[in-house]
Amino acid sequence: MPTLHSGPAVADATLEPARQRLASTMQRLLPGEGLLEAPVEGVTLFRAESDLNCTSSVLEPCLGFIVQGNKLMQFGDREMVYGPLNFLACSVHMPVTGHVLGASPKSPHLGIKLTVDPAEVSELVLELGERAPALESGGNCDDSSCGLRVARINRGILGTLSRLVELADTPADAKILAPLARRELIYRVLVSEMGPHLRKLSVADSQSSRIARVIGILQERYAEPLRVRELAGIANMSESSLYHSFKQVTRLSPLQFQKKLRLHEARRLMLAEGLEAASASYRVGYESPSQFSREYSRMFGAPPRADINKLRGGQSIPA
């Protein structure tokens, strides 16, 4: 049974009016279920009106903000629940499944995702100098190496987030102000309690950065046989250290991670390119279509054909 990690409680009730205003703005911008690419690079707004709208994906380094509703995130052997005025930071690419909880047309789930470039974080850390957050334990995972973390939204973060969303109403202003709002939001997170976790993106020789290099190779060569010795050399680690560190960060072994990458890509091939299950399984490195079907069903909750038909009949939101 996976360990349950709940998002931290909201400490400052005075933020509630501002949260409600932001929720109203998002509902106006998104009157129905779906996604909206905001006029800020890497920012997506999403709305869901039922618990069925969930997805399994490989989450890139990003910040995820819940404005209304709750979400259950599953990754490796972990589960994490977070809700309004909480936000999530992901420091490496991670296979995750996101489940919307308690959404309805009258009370939709509202969220915001901001992808983060490590170069942006590095630049801000250099500018902060001695004020830059130290690399230390923090957050709500069992150890400081976990690639996903949840923290409270503070007043500065909420104010910047609201201004960023409101720029969708004024595209002319957004052209000039959006990059500034994006930079300010990353800065606000960097100097918050989430700072030490986000800073991992900027440290070239941190454990997270080494594992990120390994993840990059796995993403490029997911269909090839797994060669742990080669991956350990890339990370400048022993094989045992790589295995231990990889599991600390991603909550998966390298082999489990590769399997999830293969299944995600097979799902994309069937959905976007119309491949049959057997063809997709061979394309991503499986030798046995029956083994592929079993593992696909365990991961996505239905056999390949049934899952793809369901996806084509409905819409999902980002994990």
89-105 residue pLDDT tens: 998 888 888 889 889 99
- Average pLDDT of every residue of the chain: 85
On the CB side of 50, how many CA atoms lie within 13 Å of its CA?
A: 5
pLDDT at 315 over 70: no
Average pLDDT over residues 197-211: 75
Q: What is the pLDDT of residue 1?
A: 37
126 burial type by CB count under 10 A (0-12 exposed, 13-18 middle, 19+ buried): exposed
Res 77: pLDDT: 80
Mean pLDDT of 57-78: 89
Closest residue by Cα to residue 43 from 224, 140, 166: 166
pLDDT digits (tens, 9 = 90+) for 211-246: 888 998 999 999 999 888 999 998 888 999 999 989
Quote the pTM value.
Answer: 0.80
Mean pLDDT over 1-10 rounds to 46
**Model confidence at 27: pLDDT above 90:** yes
Q: What is the pLDDT of residue 59?
A: 86
The three-state secondary structure class of 5 is strand
Long-range CB pairs of 297-302 (<8 Å, 24+ gap) are 299/56, 299/260, 299/263, 300/56, 300/263, 300/267
pLDDT of residue 317: 54
How would residue 206 be classed by pLDDT, with cut points 50, 70 and 90? low
In this predicted model, what pLDDT tens digit does every residue of 250-302 receive, in sequence order?
Answer: 889 999 999 999 999 999 999 889 999 999 999 999 999 999 999 999 988 88
Cα-Cα-Cα-Cα torsion 299, 305, 308, 312, nearest 10 degrees, comes to: -160
